Chain A
Amino acid sequence: MVKHFDTSVELCGVKLNNPVIPASGTFGFGREFVEYYDLDCLGAISFKGTTRDARFGNPTPRIAECTSGLINSVGLQNPGIDKVIAEELPNLRNIFHNPIVANISGFSLEEYEECCAKIDKEEQVEIIEVNVSCPNVHNGGMSFGTQPESAAEVTRRVKAVTTKPVFIKLSPNVTDIVAIARACEEAGADGICLINTLLGMRIDTVRRKPVIANKMGGFSGDAIFPVAVRMVYQVANACNIPVMGCGGVSSASDVIEMMMAGATAVQVGAANLKNPYAAKEIIEALPQEMERLGIERLRDIIGIVK
């Protein structure tokens, strides 16, 4: 008899067949990956961080390789919210039939408000993920996510104009992640997503210059996994809202570890860039890993480590 392994989870009433979600910024709007595999195996997709206006982003080079990871300084390149709604969202809906997480970024409270209000009207979107943690743009993104007060203010403003579950995506580049997550929860956040990238830098020692044009960027990949697990654990234990874990996940074993730390769903980011099949392969490996660890229902292990 083939044993049934239940991988389903629920995020604020949104049912996912499995907890694996490609992370924003590593999966575009799905177009590149549908050439590799049927996207419907994915629990959900978090699309590319979207702002009010179209953005080119930062100068190149934007990428620096590191041991077990990479630094990126893309700088929120995206087509802008209106084009995303008019072109990308319908196309994504055509190629993907599970929940869509809309990742929204901004440079002012008004921009967050405006974009979230617009995306909230789109029935194809199930969850809104508010990025207050992009390390690659000035006067925006991360500056909102590094203080409890400003993170809470973004949360309040977005919650006031939306009806869908709102997750706030937090930066690890802070001294007290718990204080920020709690402030978001008190301001009405339905969930927390963490972590975004760690601010990093590489230097080309031959040219004696930074590898990345913008000098610094966000470090992601396998190397940051322990930092992500630690922060997920801290936040999940301090808050009563669900957590989407993100950061360095590259195997089914990592997914389970992050869920044991307290994550209800788990995002896969940089791994998609190294291996376009990463998310699919992780999902396929889940039952075997569950069997090995004696897990029948994945949701039973969420936050099991105290």
Chain B
Amino acid sequence: MYKKGIYKIVSNEPLTPAVYRMVLEGDTQYITHSGQFINIELEGKFLRRPISVADYDDNTITIIYKVVGSGTEQMRQMAVGTKLDVLTGLGNGFSTENEAQRPLLVGGGVGVPPMYNLCKRLLAEGKRPTIIVGFNTAAEVFYVEEFKALGVDVHVTTADGSQGIKGFVTDAIREAAIEFDYLYTCGPLPMLKALYDATATPAEFSFEERMGCGFGACMGCSCKTKYGYKRICKDGPVLKREEIIW
């Protein structure tokens, strides 16, 4: 179930020079799973902007977005109190209905945000998650303290070695000898593929695709899976290991 509503910006602040966190106030009842996304209407833009939900509670939604184009630049400049037309509860999100007790969460860049609510959810279910966050360089790193505050092991990797383990998230799995029985991940496609190849546990991968509507109508973001054609926006963005065709 998903709905359109009006949401008020209660904060909009930088986490890094390019990455911002926005908190929206409004109806959150249609968000049911970590890893779902919302689709925001912006003045002067024909298409909405799909942004993953980093966290939510009874009346707020937290999103974390990177300023990459004119739409996200518009969002960056929005003042507290601005009202936005938003579709919520979009996408399938991650499933936590499994037997795994030691899930590994891996976020790359702006793939990190959906891991936050997922981590909270897994902890609430009594599981013991570990998180790896991967970035290009120290200046881009965000949310390490927030994850630490949840009381989980956080491993940071940077491609240039300026913070944490030098290299990629797969290097962190090896170097820190992380033991896990389930994998959840969101990030750039090469990272997802590298994790797919480097791990063998059951796993869920959150994919990105250029979308039209964001709610399954236009078939703009279709992909082929072993279980047939799927829409990233509606049947995804999360696909299970066994169904993925790279």
**A residues bordering B, Cβ < 8 Å?**
25-28, 31-33, 35-36, 48, 56-57, 60-70, 72, 74, 77, 221-222, 270, 272-277
Contact = CB atoms under 8 A, between A and B. Distances in A.
A31 B41 CA distance: 22
A196 to B, nearest CB: 15
B224 A28 contact: no
Interface residues of B, number: 27
B10 to A, nearest CB: 24
A56 B213 contact: no
Contacts of A70: 46-47, 212
Contacts of A74: 218-220, 222
Nearest to B44: A67
A77 B224 CA distance: 12
The SS class assigned to the B binding surface is loop
Contact of B210 (A26, A63, A272): A63
Given A35-B1, A277-B4, A62 B221 contact: yes
Contact of B217 (A28, A69, A277): A28
A65 B223 CA distance: 20
Contacts, number: 92
Nearest 8 A/B pairs, CB to CB: A273-B213, A63-B220, A61-B210, A32-B216, A63-B212, A77-B219, A32-B217, A65-B47
Contacts of B210: 60-64
A67 B234 CA distance: 25
A158 to B, nearest CB: 25
Given A32-B213, A60-B223, 18 more contacts: A32-B216, A35-B1, A56-B222, A62-B210, A63-B218, A68-B46, A70-B47, A74-B218, A77-B219, A77-B222, A273-B217, A274-B41, A274-B46, A274-B47, A276-B87, A276-B213, A276-B217, A277-B4
A277 B87 CA distance: 11
21 contacts: A28-B217, A31-B216, A32-B216, A48-B219, A60-B221, A60-B222, A60-B223, A63-B47, A63-B211, A64-B210, A65-B46, A67-B46, A70-B46, A74-B218, A77-B219, A222-B46, A273-B212, A273-B218, A274-B48, A276-B4, A276-B87
